[in-house]
Chain A
Amino acid sequence: MDILQIVIVSIIASILFILLKDVNPTFAFFIVIVVGIMIFASVIGQIRLIFQVIQSLGDQANVPGLYLETILKIIGIAYIAELGASMTQDAGLQSVAKNIELAGKIFILLLAIPIITSVIEAIVSFLPTV
């Protein structure tokens, strides 16, 4: 989908949201969710292309697959957590949004543990043994 189409869809969605807000707030919130899904679904194909390029570059540079995979997973977790947090925030649940963000951070940290340990091991191997 083009950027113009995305903007037009968002404008139409905001008009429908204003129309529905007073009549039926539940359905107005569904419109917000659907617009989020539509925009991300139109973008995800391009993200897939970018990731393929990144992976082929990494293969050429002989970067271990574990690192690239971890980084891509972290990006994915960050995006999903952001999506959920902003949607719950739109629904007025601030504390749930905060908790989703916290969970996202924890999972990212969990994924980063192998990289952190390998970095620390590398540093320790540089240190002269007494």
Chain B
Amino acid sequence: MLTDISVLFQIAGIGIIVALIHTILKQMGKEEIAQFATLIGFIIVLYIVINGLRDLFNQIKSVFLF
């Protein structure tokens, strides 16, 4: 369940680091690897968010829809 505020900082940190990696790899001329780094970061955050969303919807189902 996403009740801890550290998840927010986690996502923000992952976002900043991924943007950094993207910029550095782009400077080095490795465009495809930069795209992959962004994609991997996106998937990691998506995993966190989807887990939280699943828990929330399960709780909504148990409270509202019985």
Q: Which residues of A are interface residues toward B (Cβ below 8 A)?
A: 1, 9, 12-13, 16, 19-20, 23-24, 26-28, 30-31, 33-35, 37-38, 40-42, 44, 47-48, 51, 69, 72-73, 75-77, 79-80
Contact = CB atoms under 8 A, between A and B. Distances in A.
User: DSSP class of B's interface residues: helix, strand, loop or mixed?
Assistant: helix
B8 A13 contact: yes
| Pairs of residues from A and B, 4 with the lowest C-beta to C-beta distance, nearest first | A76-B64, A27-B15, A16-B12, A23-B19
Given A37-B2, A41-B3, 6 more contacts: A27-B12, A30-B15, A37-B52, A38-B7, A38-B8, A41-B59
A35 B45 CA distance: 14
A41 B56 contact: yes
A69 B66 CA distance: 8
A19 B3 CA distance: 22
A11 B3 CA distance: 16
B15 A24 contact: yes
